[in-house]
Chains A and B, each alone.
Chain A
């Protein structure tokens, strides 16, 4: 962690991070799931734990949300020690697990009122909060139907709505968009952004790099029980090379003269496309354009590709991605 907080008034400076973990370890038998991870999440930010299946993301969430106990590590959530004051931690957090935590046998509204009762809201307050959240998450129509009949997206929305009943200041979302269709995914992203706008701290796990890129202030890549890298999306992208400019032509003659003008680029004779290594800076682009001008050719299409989190992810997690898969992936875009 190399976040240097801007100079702030004393009171603000004293605000402790929402979540800290030092040397967090957990193993099941011989299998080490978390092998000493350190992290710190400032209040009011989104932190994404990114990793392939089986990396230990869910275990980390389960531990930080008091569901299971850690083997070792100093853990603080909302200013309370997890081992010593789990009840105080629970009072401050909301959790939406990977598998929907709704009671399928009762209706959406009954689920909401159940949460209100467990947060010890008065009957009237409970009804108000439940109605408000059902409205906000577009569940009014389905409110009187058993939750078991809800679609995946509706279940997830109900799940989050239930999490919000107590007005938690820290929210854990374990793979909130896994299994959702694109529209539901974007709805979920909107929900997360709204939460953060209200000053809530969000700790989410995801296997979608795009999601971490979209939402998170800071991203930690978890692999094999260790944090392989941590930083903002931009910082992580700088770790790996792979930026390039791609030029596409329709005229084979123009393609050939461009290819000779821009030596060093990789050509695709079939698609009439050239790929030139580039860091995407203005100076670099200008030099490419100047050389094209000098050769008197005009590209039909020019796109700049900066390395995305996919590249970072594969580089860090050592996933078996042969270089060739990179090509079709680019071509698809």
Chain B
């Protein structure tokens, strides 16, 4: 069997294993899904009046703010899901079965690829669920063409792949589930410090560059542009650059960590 077909075959076996775990024990996934949904409802129904007045000025209503925060919350959903990835990778590494995999004639990277693909699928599913809640409370896209929908979908997948590879690396360096959950905390903190809830322009001047160029803001702004027709500008390239960069970085980091002798 060629290296590639071995890699594909073993990775899909590992993917099946991870999906089986997720299906058997959906509580972790559901817990992580709760965060974005709660935040959505909190910001819309509790803080909604102040927030919409803050961003829209005259004539802004709740619908304006819903439209504003949904793209950010979809990205936050991905961040929240990959915390689960870091935890489950870290948990998995303490299992004896991983030692067994390491002594079998299988493709080495397949264990990680299985986690990554499984996690990306979960992210997409979570995004769809949170999106459905958003639509239920009144979110509508503005004139998005099929091509823009496709691009938006592609962006969500690519961005979740980027965060997932980093999360896998975080899971590998964490000795236990608690540490993994702590190490992956930036995944949910960064979207709070992005343009997800309030525009970057309203932040203090010294903080603005940080908020503007961290991975989440360009991704959120690009998604906003695709779904709502706002200005994307250089954010499209920034989002693409961050995503591809993080995929490459995360891949090499995680595979190098996995190749080391286990503790």
Q: Are A90 and B96 in contact (CB under 8 A)?
A: no
* B window 9-27: CB within 8 A of A: 9-10, 13, 16-17, 20-21, 24-25
| Known A68-B261, A68-B262: A106·B17 in contact at CB below 8 Å | yes
Which residues of the partner chain A approach B100 to less than 8 Å between Cβ atoms? 95, 97, 101, 162-163
B102 on the interface (CB 8 Å rule)? yes
A55 on the interface (CB 8 Å rule)? no
A–B Cβ pairs within 8 angstroms, 29 of them: A67-B103, A67-B262, A68-B261, A69-B261, A87-B105, A91-B105, A93-B103, A95-B100, A95-B103, A97-B99, A100-B96, A101-B99, A102-B97, A103-B17, A103-B95, A105-B20, A105-B21, A105-B25, A106-B17, A106-B20, A106-B21, A110-B20, A114-B13, A114-B17, A118-B10, A120-B9, A162-B100, A163-B100, A166-B104
* B window 101-119: CB within 8 A of A: 101-106
Which residues of the partner chain B approach A117 to less than 8 Å between Cβ atoms? 9, 13, 16
Q: Interface residues of A toward B: which range?
A: 20 to 34
User: Please, how many angstroms separate the alpha-carbon atoms of A114 and B104 in the complex?
Assistant: 12
Q: Interface residues of B toward A: which range?
A: 20 to 34
* A window 108-166: CB within 8 A of B: 110, 114, 117-120, 146, 162-163, 166
B20, B25, B104: the one within 8 Å of A118 (CB) = B104
Q: Are A66 and B13 in contact (CB under 8 A)?
A: no
User: Please, how many angstroms separate the alpha-carbon atoms of A91 and B114 in the complex?
Assistant: 21
User: Please, how many angstroms separate the alpha-carbon atoms of A65 and B99 in the complex?
Assistant: 10
A314 on the interface (CB 8 Å rule)? no
B13, B16, B25, B104: the one within 8 Å of A90 (CB) = B104
B136 on the interface (CB 8 Å rule)? no
B38 on the interface (CB 8 Å rule)? no
| Known A106-B20, A110-B20, A117-B13: A67·B95 in contact at CB below 8 Å | no
